Structure 1
Amino acid sequence: MTESLLLVAGGLVLLALGGELLVRGAVGMATRLGISPLLAGLTIVGFGTSMPELATSVQAALSGSPGIAIGNVVGSNIANILLILGISALIVPISVNPAAFKRDSLALGGTALLATGAVMVGVIGFAYGLLLVTALVAYLWWAYKSESAAHDAEALRHEHEAEDRPVPADTAPVVLGGMIIAGLAAAIFGAGWLVDGAKVLASAAGVSESVIGLTVVAIGTSLPELIACVVAVIRKHGDVALGNVVGSNIYNLCGILGLTAMIHPIEVPAEIARFDIWVMLGVTALLIVQLRSGWRLSRAEGALLAAIYAGYTAFLVLR
């Protein structure tokens, strides 16, 4: 048990370090190549911050642990909405930009439905994975075109996401390339440790790999989003916290699940298809209704989200 916990902890540290190195190196390289901060924020930062989830799900699928591979994605989305936004709103109520969220709520709801359809198929293969990735590319193109044309608050938020990861302007391309390679290596090794530790932990605790994927692995790979969102709301940047969660969920469902399925087919565990995917769909719908009803997430609503997550986690452990 102790060894598995050390593997999980070490894996999470390497994943967080690898993701940060990858993002900083890639953003620095993008700046040297003249790529706009808006495009860098939408694509490079979004992809880089999702690297822990991607590396973990791919490693799990390749090692024959579909419960961890899919549980990581579904559990991360549930935790992002219920736990991370719930805690963030408890600290400071979150105001919503109606114009930006009308677009993103369509994308969030659409990708949740698309992922639910993928899970209900039973085996997510290359074709459905390609469909999910194509949907992500279409969303990114839609977001980039609309934000570059209007250059509104949402565009500024994505620009700030790239600018918040500065690299000295005189950093040599070879150093930036080294940061990217080191980040990828750390993420790959970290994911391997995390998956190996999660398997042993599931066996020792007497629960399924799906439960470990939905809880320990999902929360662990979502820790960077939790820290970023808490810092954002403390700085009175609630729109940044909400944008982090919405963007992360879209990347998880289309990018992470899609790319993983394209690399290796995923056989969906019956327990996730029977219950957890519907929880994810339900809390996604709940969030959209909450935000569109008053364009604000209050402390009371944040407490409700956090309480639902506590009940959901307790149910997983006891079922």
Structure 2
Amino acid sequence: MTYLMVLGGLVLLFVGGEALVRGSVSIARKLNISELVIGLTLVGFGTSVPELVTSLQAIDKGAVGISVGNVVGSNIANILLVLGVAAMIRPIMTNPRALSRDGMIMLGVTALLCVLIWFDGFSRVAGIALLVLLATYLIYSLVADQSRDSDPASLHAAEGGTVEASYGLLLGLVIAVAGLAGVVLGANLLVDGAVTIARDLGVSETIIGLTIVAVGTSLPELSTSVIAAFRGKSDVALGNVIGSNIFNVLGILGMTALVHPFTLRGGMAVEAMSQQHVSSIISSKDVGALILSVFLLMLFVMTGRRIARWEGAVLLLAYALYFGLLFNLIPVPGILPHG
């Protein structure tokens, strides 16, 4: 029954997320909003809504490991699993000039996440700062892209064009609301099921968050990337993955810390806690996998015009290696303090 609950939650997250994006895009087009804005906001970040709702649901239930593990695991899965599978199906054509700006921002955001994990700095102030950075990134991108005919602007406009949604204002609103309801219900089922599975299997909630939950909430990115690869528009899907990873850190963790500050060394309410002798729920292997995934992506994107099949295989191999480390099949020395 528990596994059916998790499966049902994943299905609702995927279907609801798709409906939310398509309904929102349809409304935006009816309001004559440009494809550039649609691509950068509704499409670029829309696929991260399942992660956002799931993390908020998890933090509300006190499941910090699932909430944070979902974000860290999703960013790892987006690169190593999603792009790896897509590249194995068909090499992913890339435009380094179009991806360089957002790629560098993703690199900086990932470094910021590592710093926050190291210092366990997920306070309400940090949450506000992350959301301000997200707003700054959006405003800067929109202004920069609209001021000139740039490669990033073309990429974001193409992202908007990939969504086939022309339902009109009213029907689009109904579809978007129904999609949001599906995402909320799916996230609730997924979190409850994931917590139960963790207890039944005797593993930490963080591991479940890094695996089952993270992979499940990354299904929209996987679907987008695979379809785009078959259509020969894989650079658009690659840009969507980069945008999703940026939003996961700045938007999801920012909103989560703002709503309910937490600690990686003990749970909730970090503001008055000092837990220097408690292990971090995000370990050195998790941070290492996150850094490795970003390094491999930037290396493959910037050194060629495509992510070849053998490079996709490298990404998938790295993901398999991470799972081996995650389940202690391969020993690894500790790097994080007490983690």
Is 2:98–2:155's contact at 8 Å kept on the other side of the alignment? no
User: Equivalences for 1:32-47 in 2 at 5 Å?
Assistant: 32-47=30-45
- Aligned counterparts of 1:158 and 1:102: Cα–Cα separation in 2: 13
Q: Hey, what's the Cα distance between the residues in 1 that align with 2:19 and 2:306?
A: 34
- Cα distance in 1, alignment partners of residues 79 and 45 from structure 2: 19
Partner of 2:19: 21
State the alpha-carbon separation in 1 of the partners of residues 19 and 237 from structure 2: 21
Work out whether 1:229 is the aligned partner of 2:239: no
Greater shift, 81-90 or 274-283, is seen at: 274-283
What is the RMSD computed on CA atoms of the aligned residues? 1.9
Would you tell me which structure has more helix in proportion to its own residues? 1
Aligned to 1:308: 318
Partner residue, 2:295: 285
Residues 119-154 of structure 1: per-residue CA shift (max 9 Å, x gap): 223251221112112222222222222322333454
Secondary structure class of the residue paired with 1:272: coil
| Unaligned residue ranges in structure 1 (runs of 5+) | none
Residues 291 and 157 of structure 1, relative CA distance in 2, 3 Å threshold: closer
User: Which letter maps to 1:39?
Assistant: V
Structure 1 contact 229–241 (Cα < 8 Å) conserved: yes
TM-score norm. by structure 2 comes to 0.87
Kept in 2, the 8 Å contact 1:198–1:212? The answer is yes
Spell out the pairing of 1:134-145 with structure 2 (5 A cutoff). Answer: 134-145=132-143
Higher relative contact order (CA 8 A, sep 6+): 1
Instruction: Write out per-residue CA displacement over residues 240-272 of structure 1, whole angstroms, 9 at most, x where no aligned residue.
Output: 221121111111111111111111112225131
Match of 1:202 among 183, 187, 198: 198
Name the CA distance, whole Å, in 2 between partners of 1:286 and 1:162: 27
* Aligned residues of 1:38 and 1:159 also touching (Cα < 8 A): yes
Matches within 5 A, 1:2-151: 3-151=1-149
Structure 2 letter corresponding to 1:86: G
| 3-state SS in 2 of match to 1:35 | coil
**Are 2:268 and 1:272 equivalent residues in the alignment?**
no
> Hey, what does 2:212 align to over in structure 1?
216
TM-score norm. by structure 1 comes to: 0.92
- Letter of the structure 1 residue corresponding to residue 58 of structure 2: A
| Residue of structure 2 in register with 1:249 after alignment | 245
Aligned residues: 315
Q: Secondary structure at the match of 2:203?
A: coil
Unaligned runs of 5+ in 2: 266-279, 330-339
Aligned-pair identity (%): 45
| 2:66 partner letter | I
Q: Distance in 2 between matches of 1:150 and 1:87?
A: 34
What is the SS of the residue equivalent to 1:271? coil
Which of 133, 142, 155 matches 1:157? 155
Q: Do the aligned partners of 1:107 and 1:250 also contact (CA within 8 Å) in 2?
A: yes
- The amino acid that maps onto 1:278 is G
Q: CA deviation at 1:200?
A: 0.7
- Per the TM alignment, residue 317 of structure 1 is displaced from its structure 2 partner at its CA by 2.5
